[in-house]
Chain A
Amino acid sequence: MSKGSLDAPAKPVNSLTHEVHSEDVAPLQVLSPEGEVINPDYMPDLTDEQLKEVMYRMVFTRAWDDRAINLGRQGRLGFYAPVSGQEGTMVGSEYALTKEDFVCPGYRDMPQIVWHGLPMYQAFLYSRGHQHGGQIPEGVNVLMPQIIIGAQILHATGIAMGFKLKGEKRVAITYTGDGGSSEGDFYEGLNYAGSFKLPVIYFVQNNGYAITTPFAKQTGAQSIAHKALAAGIRGLQIDGMDVLAVIYAVQQAAAIARDGGGATLIEALTYRFRPHSMSDDATKYRTKEEEQEWSLRDPLIRFGKFLEAKGLWSDEDTARVREEAKNAVNEHIKKAEQTEKMTVAGLIDSMFENTPAHLEEQKADFQ
């Protein structure tokens, strides 16, 4: 299997102005909040159809989140981490990759793995604690959502090493938040990627809060992107409410990684419009003013304005996609609810390839 090499010589790294080299960093943007192109140099190379597809996915994801909140309140979804506000980072970063690339999500990153190919009803089953939720179909290159903050960072690092050893031009991407960037696993992963020059993208969605703890209390570093410097990998900061900036940055990072240039840490500044989870009350730690300010940077509004100006999107499109999403969610939650419940016997048999005698015996207590 080993066709690549762990010590392949590095190719020159492309230069990005928003790469971190010093104390100062300004987030990479393509669009202004009004949807005007302010940095044409960073405009990703997308056809009109592709631009519309990105918008479709963002609108769909927002409507899915709206519906999921209701399902959560009805007790039909289990644990759910809202995503509204982060559609730019979630949809854009996944869209920038190929289906052969590998996604290692945190628990909030359901949209990425669903857009990467996991059937939505399985995402719902995962939330509901059903094992079938984690039975990723063959050919879908994702891991299950990770609960231990940062553990997936190391898995992506290992997966990227596997790609490199096999000589495959594939990339692994992993997600965490501003809180996750304080974990030991975060530093260990970045450092390994630097040491082995691995094709991996560490994508940090800095939404300002680790549950309730504000970013100001999370680190003394100038930015999360700066943490790349110590690991010897590329680091850049981007405006996560600008989906075109996200796509550009991830496409660049992926191209560099495929080319043997190693890993990139991308810090995307974003905001979750909703609470951390269904049992969290964001009014206890965020002000109305702050929420208002961020709502003006809504990634759907910004990208929508851009597309409307090009005649590619309208309110009718949004209404149509929202309806489509609502129907899809309803269909998939029904399918999740109709999936046969797990059994303890089945659970026991899923612990090892061959169930040992003592576990076989323990089944008897549940029959």
Chain B
Amino acid sequence: MAQMNMIEAIKDAMRVELRRDQNVLIFGEDVGHVGGVFRATEGLQAEFGENRVFDTPLAESAIGGLAVGLGTQGFRPIAEIQFVGFIYEALDQMFVQAARLRFRSGGRYNAPIVFRTPFGGGVKAAELHTDSLEGLAIQTPGIKVIVPSNPYDAKGLLISAIRDNDPVFFMEHLNLYRAFRDEVPEGEYTVPIGKANIVREGADVTIIAYGLMVHTAKKAADELAKEGINAEIIDLRTLMPLDIETIVESLKKTNRAIVVQEAQKTSGAAAEVIAQINEKAILHLEAPVLRVAGPDTVYPFAQIEDTWLPTPARIVKAAKQVLEF
């Protein structure tokens, strides 16, 4: 098995699918010759040619619209939106045109599109490069939302997303691209969409997280362990559809939970998790479920992002709060 970081695993997933299915296309800004600003597609144009992997003019709405049109003609586009904030330019095509196509045509057409975008803070990037906009997507009917936390999941989930016949918003945390290496199998394998993963077992409190926050939660769990508190960590992996079953099963054991997200606190993934816990597991709870999240402000790029983002200390504090309730 090979050792890959997340960006290599993502590239490998695309290479596997470009080889397997000639209808798979990759396009976006700078993804061709150079291979994207993070080199996620480096070498793919050389291997598969300019008709499979190509640069587009700089226009995100058109990237989305091109994908929708190509999708109706049997292609399976992987459309890269260079940075997360640029999806605002493409929202109609992503969240209306792609997400509603199956509904609008009564199933006659569908949008087998993956919209890949880097997101997430802590890398001192420019404004609107590092926001967490998954909340907008999970409230949009008709589009799936995936946020991998490690190279193995990233490859398996991306292959699942490319093969999915509905649109997928695939969010890749910038701070995970080259953070560490994992054992990643060569060739094909899939990680199912809509299945969470218990990445650490524990009986005292459940920490629910996704993306980079899984790793922040692990650090917090290490701290908690020093005080004899055993935290269970659930990596959601997919935000839409949400694997509430795994969460409920964990709560039956721990009876306490916190949800960690980088995004602003109000609405969003954590709020949805808590709403569903309320509906399905309230009698298993010994304490309110708390959120550890960014404050409801604009994301403060670069300057104070490290204090703005959830830290292990804030997670430890919240865990203790629910334990001491």
Residues on A lying within 8 angstroms of B by beta carbon are: 1-2, 4-7, 104, 131-136, 143-144, 148, 151, 153-163, 165-166, 172, 184-185, 188-189, 191-192, 195, 347, 350-353, 356-359
Query: Which chain A residues border B66 with CB–CB below 8 Å?
Result: 154, 157-158, 161, 192
Query: Which chain B residues border A148 with CB–CB below 8 Å?
Result: 92, 96-97
Is A350 a contact partner of B102 (Cβ separation < 8 A)? yes
Checking B75, B106, B142, B165 against A162 with a beta-carbon cut-off of 8 angstroms, the contacting residue is B75
Query: Which chain A residues border B108 with CB–CB below 8 Å?
Result: 134-136
Contact A4/B68 with A144-B105, A185-B62 known, Cβ cut-off 8 Å: no
Query: Which chain B residues border A359 with CB–CB below 8 Å?
Result: 241
Contact A155/B51 with A161-B70, A189-B62 known, Cβ cut-off 8 Å: no
Is A159 a contact partner of B62 (Cβ separation < 8 A)? no
A351 to B62, CA, bound (A): 24
Checking B50, B59, B62, B141 against A6 with a beta-carbon cut-off of 8 angstroms, the contacting residue is B50
Does B295 make an interface contact (CB < 8 A)? Answer: no
29 residue pairs from A and B, CB less than 8 Å apart: A2-B52, A104-B69, A132-B106, A134-B108, A135-B105, A136-B105, A136-B108, A148-B92, A151-B96, A154-B62, A155-B65, A155-B97, A162-B70, A162-B73, A165-B25, A165-B75, A166-B73, A184-B61, A185-B92, A191-B59, A192-B59, A192-B66, A351-B142, A352-B144, A352-B166, A353-B165, A356-B194, A357-B244, A358-B241
Checking A5, A353, A358 against B110 with a beta-carbon cut-off of 8 angstroms, the contacting residue is A353
User: What's the least CB distance linking A232 to chain B, in Å?
Assistant: 11
0/1 string, B46-73, CB within 8 A of A gives 1: 0001111010110101101111111111
A151 to B110, CA, bound (A): 16
User: What's the least CB distance linking A176 to chain B, in Å?
Assistant: 13
User: What's the least CB distance linking B321 to chain A, in Å?
Assistant: 29
Query: Which chain A residues border B96 with CB–CB below 8 Å?
Result: 148, 151
A159 to B141, CA, bound (A): 24
Question: What number of B residues sit within 8 Å (CB to CB) of A?
Answer: 50
A206 to B224, CA, bound (A): 68
User: What's the least CB distance linking B282 to chain A, in Å?
Assistant: 16
**Contacts A134-B106, A358-B242 known; 6 new A-B pairs at CB < 8 A:** A1-B75, A143-B109, A154-B64, A154-B65, A154-B93, A162-B72
Does B3 make an interface contact (CB < 8 A)? Answer: no
Query: Which chain B residues border A5 with CB–CB below 8 Å?
Result: 50-51
Is B62 a contact partner of A157 (Cβ separation < 8 A)? yes
Checking A2, A158, A195 against B65 with a beta-carbon cut-off of 8 angstroms, the contacting residue is A158
Is A131 a contact partner of B106 (Cβ separation < 8 A)? yes
Instruction: Output the nearest chain A residue to B110 by Cβ-Cβ distance.
Output: A353
Is B104 a contact partner of A4 (Cβ separation < 8 A)? no
Instruction: Output the nearest chain A residue to B142 by Cβ-Cβ distance.
Output: A351
Query: Which chain A residues border B65 with CB–CB below 8 Å?
Result: 151, 153-155, 157-158, 185, 188-189
Q: How many A-B contacts if CB must be within 8 Å?
A: 144
A131 to B102, CA, bound (A): 10
Query: Which chain A residues border B141 with CB–CB below 8 Å?
Result: 351
User: What's the least CB distance linking B230 to chain A, in Å?
Assistant: 29
Query: Which chain A residues border B51 with CB–CB below 8 Å?
Result: 2, 4-6, 165
Is A353 a contact partner of B72 (Cβ separation < 8 A)? no
Instruction: Output the nearest chain A residue to B103 by Cβ-Cβ distance.
Output: A350
User: What's the least CB distance linking B169 to chain A, in Å?
Assistant: 14
User: What's the least CB distance linking B323 to chain A, in Å?
Assistant: 29
Query: Which chain B residues border A131 with CB–CB below 8 Å?
Result: 103-104, 106
A356 to B168, CA, bound (A): 14
User: What's the least CB distance linking B276 to chain A, in Å?
Assistant: 8
Query: Which chain B residues border A2 with CB–CB below 8 Å?
Result: 22, 49, 51-52
Query: Which chain A residues border B241 with CB–CB below 8 Å?
Result: 356-359
A347 to B265, CA, bound (A): 31
Checking B69, B106, B110 against A155 with a beta-carbon cut-off of 8 angstroms, the contacting residue is B69
A188 to B93, CA, bound (A): 13
A189 to B74, CA, bound (A): 20
Checking A132, A136, A158, A347 against B67 with a beta-carbon cut-off of 8 angstroms, the contacting residue is A158
Query: Which chain B residues border A153 with CB–CB below 8 Å?
Result: 65
Contact A161/B69 with A1-B22, A358-B244 known, Cβ cut-off 8 Å: yes
Does B160 make an interface contact (CB < 8 A)? Answer: no
Q: Which of B66, B241, B245 has the most CB of A within 10 A?
A: B66
Does B187 make an interface contact (CB < 8 A)? Answer: no
Instruction: Output the nearest chain B residue to A349 by Cβ-Cβ distance.
Output: B107
Is B22 a contact partner of A6 (Cβ separation < 8 A)? no
B226-252 residues with Cβ-Cβ distance < 8 A to A are 241-242, 244-245
User: What's the least CB distance linking B298 to chain A, in Å?
Assistant: 24
Query: Which chain A residues border B23 with CB–CB below 8 Å?
Result: 1
Query: Which chain B residues border A162 with CB–CB below 8 Å?
Result: 69-70, 72-75
Is B70 a contact partner of A158 (Cβ separation < 8 A)? yes
User: What's the least CB distance linking A150 to chain B, in Å?
Assistant: 9
A347 to B323, CA, bound (A): 43
Q: Give the 5 A-B CB pairs with smallest separation, nearest first.
A: A158-B69, A154-B65, A162-B73, A356-B241, A135-B106
User: What's the least CB distance linking B142 to chain A, in Å?
Assistant: 5
Instruction: Output the nearest chain B residue to A125 by Cβ-Cβ distance.
Output: B106
User: What's the least CB distance linking B10 to chain A, in Å?
Assistant: 23
Query: Which chain B residues border A358 with CB–CB below 8 Å?
Result: 241-242, 244, 276
